[in-house]
Structure 1
Amino acid sequence: MNISEAIACHSRLVGLSDSPQADVELLLCHVCQRSRTFFFTHPEYQLSETEAESFESLLKRRESGEPVAHLTGSRGFWTLDLDVTPSTLIPRADTECLVEKALELIPHSTARVLDLGTGTGAIALALASECPAWQVTGIDLVAEAASLAEQNRNRLGLNNVTILEGSWFEPVDGQYELIVSNPPYIDPQDPHLQQGDVRFEPLSALIADENGLADIRYIATTARQYLSDGGKLLFEHGYDQTAAVQEILKQLNYTEIDSAQDYGGNDRITWATWSG
């Protein structure tokens, strides 16, 4: 089997994946330890017997629904390549919108930043990589997630990041110029939980009570004790939760409340300012 023939196998994923060809290319990159660019310039490359067997095994697992990130153990996010395991959410490209907004909201060369529910460390590590003078702390309740985030931090050599295990604000004190979070925000009854990659991701990182708003409300309430005067609070949330999140922030006396869409044109992030 050569590369052209292997890539043609993406037809087996049509209807099962939103990006069948990209899925196959990423599996090939993993199996052959080559870049996608190599495949484009060497379509005649012949897979070894071992590579072909590994590719077929992974493709069958992808056909059964397993996420590509779990099959390869990694996912690109921002400019980083992150290790991924089933203990955390898989970083999504749309979460990069939150990173972009955070960098826009805090133009200072120095800042203390808190990332709640850090998972793989994606948001914390992306911000730290862009702003070496920032001191970024990532927190996750799940020991395996905190360990994975620390593994990513160590491999990337980002010494301006601290990873802690604990429940939301529990492990920290002091004031922060920016608090960011991609918390659980899916209603436990949402039918999307039975579809796509989320079937293989931890429910604890996905669902929240109060129609998905319980953790957002708790974070917004408690963050007021930890934000510096003029500090920013920034959330990722569901496409249909913008009005509810804005109302929560308004009731808690935040100001300069605003929202933005993700790359797909869906409402996705909301931010506000706290004047202590």
Structure 2
Amino acid sequence: MFSLYQISNKSWYQKYFYHQDQEIILAYLIQQERTFIFTHPEFKFSLTILLRFLYYLSRRRQDYPLAYLVQKKEFYNLTFTVNKHTLIPRPESELFIDQINIIQPAQEKISDLGTSSGCLVITAAKLWPNNQFFGSDISKKALQIARCNGHAHATNITLLTGDLLTPYYQNNIKPTIILANLPYLKPEELKEKTILHEPRGALLGGNNGLRVYKRLLEQINQYHYQPKFLFLEINPEQVTQMTYLLQQKMPAYQYDLITDTQGLNRLVKIYLSSTKQELALNKFINR
């Protein structure tokens, strides 16, 4: 048996670059909170756990994502299960929730296209339960994780398997608010080590990064209905191309660019003029 005190005093432990990561991994393996490591140095664990700990550290040194090692990630103060079949939730995507908060939806049909772990739609369902919520993905393995997360957070969400709006059309569902964090990276951007281990199909958006978004906008026209809002996450460098795409495919809509914490254009908010006027009127009435 080994104690936490023995491990924390090893020179290789103290010199390891990802010191915080070590604590998170060790806490995960002994199934305790991270603070437990500091408050219970006498706690003992088996050789099996020590060997797993060393193996996880070796993977982490190779830039394997910490979230995949411990199979969880925080998003909007909630904890979500993740694995190699899902994208890792990132702070930039919390902009979706911030924007929904501005709308304060009620009795809407809110869909999350490319839901992956389900972090967006589940968070929204926790905060605004008086709406209908849908999450869809082409990956059945990702949807399994989304389903687990939905149960863990006790949310009522309908999950659909299929490409973009196709499963909604097949089930006669017309979302009024669409959240879409779809693949928007170009091939050369997939070499970034921070995303190297994430599912390629959930990242690659064609040569210019906007192929999937173009298909989404075409589907909206094809299915002859007008959602109130679309929120699309993009690479800040794609603003000009996205603007042109919206002018071509969604001429009846207006759009706003939403910046992230670094001041970069990260989210595109697309809406009908009448929708914005309706929101302004509701805010005036409810003052």
TM-score, with normalisation over the residues of structure 2? 0.82
Is the 8 Å Cα contact of residues 254 and 273 (structure 2) preserved in structure 1? no
| Cα drift, residue 136 of structure 1 | 0.9
CA distance in 2, matches of 1:126, 1:242: 27
2:220 is aligned to: 223
Q: Does 1:214 align with 2:211?
A: yes
CA distance in 2, matches of 1:132, 1:93: 22
Aligned pairs for 1:4-15 (under 5 A) are: 4-5=8-9, 9=13, 11-12=15-16, 14=17
2:279 is aligned to: none
Match of 1:112 among 109, 112, 123: 109
Is the 8 Å Cα contact of residues 113 and 137 (structure 2) preserved in structure 1? yes
| Cα drift, residue 141 of structure 1 | 0.5
CA distance in 2, matches of 1:267, 1:242: 7
Return closer, same or farther for 1:102/1:108 CA change in 2, 3 Å cut-off. Answer: closer
Return closer, same or farther for 1:63/1:113 CA change in 2, 3 Å cut-off. Answer: same
1:17 is aligned to: none
Is the 8 Å Cα contact of residues 4 and 43 (structure 1) preserved in structure 2? no
1:71 is aligned to: 69
Q: Does 1:248 align with 2:245?
A: yes
Structure with greater Cα Rg: 2
Q: Does 1:128 align with 2:125?
A: yes
CA distance in 1, matches of 2:89, 2:137: 15
Is the 8 Å Cα contact of residues 174 and 226 (structure 1) preserved in structure 2? no
Is the 8 Å Cα contact of residues 74 and 84 (structure 1) preserved in structure 2? yes
Percent of aligned pairs sharing the same letter: 26
Is the 8 Å Cα contact of residues 7 and 24 (structure 1) preserved in structure 2? no
Is the 8 Å Cα contact of residues 7 and 25 (structure 1) preserved in structure 2? no
CA distance in 2, matches of 1:109, 1:219: 25
2:281 is aligned to: none
CA distance in 2, matches of 1:7, 1:131: 49
2:188 is aligned to: 189
SS in 1 for 2:195: helix
Deviates most, 243-252 or 201-210:
243-252
SS in 2 for 1:233: strand
Q: Does 1:95 align with 2:93?
A: yes
| Cα drift, residue 254 of structure 1 | 4.5
Q: Does 1:164 align with 2:160?
A: yes
CA distance in 2, matches of 1:170, 1:72: 34
1:57 is aligned to: 55
Q: CA offsets, 1:114-158, max 9 Å, x none?
A: 111110111111111111111110000111112221121122221
| Cα drift, residue 113 of structure 1 | 0.5
Matched residue pairs, number? 263
CA distance in 1, matches of 2:15, 2:217: 45
RMSD: 2.4
Q: Which amino acid aligns with 1:170?
A: T
Q: Which amino acid aligns with 1:112?
A: K
CA distance in 2, matches of 1:7, 1:132: 50
Is the 8 Å Cα contact of residues 178 and 232 (structure 1) preserved in structure 2? yes
TM-score, with normalisation over the residues of structure 1? 0.85
**Structure 2: 5+ residue stretches without partners:** 275-287
Q: CA offsets, 1:152-208, max 9 Å, x none?
A: 11222212x111111111111343221011000001133xx2232321111110001
| Cα drift, residue 256 of structure 1 | 3.3
**Structure 1: 5+ residue stretches without partners:** 15-19
Return closer, same or farther for 1:189/1:110 CA change in 2, 3 Å cut-off. Answer: same
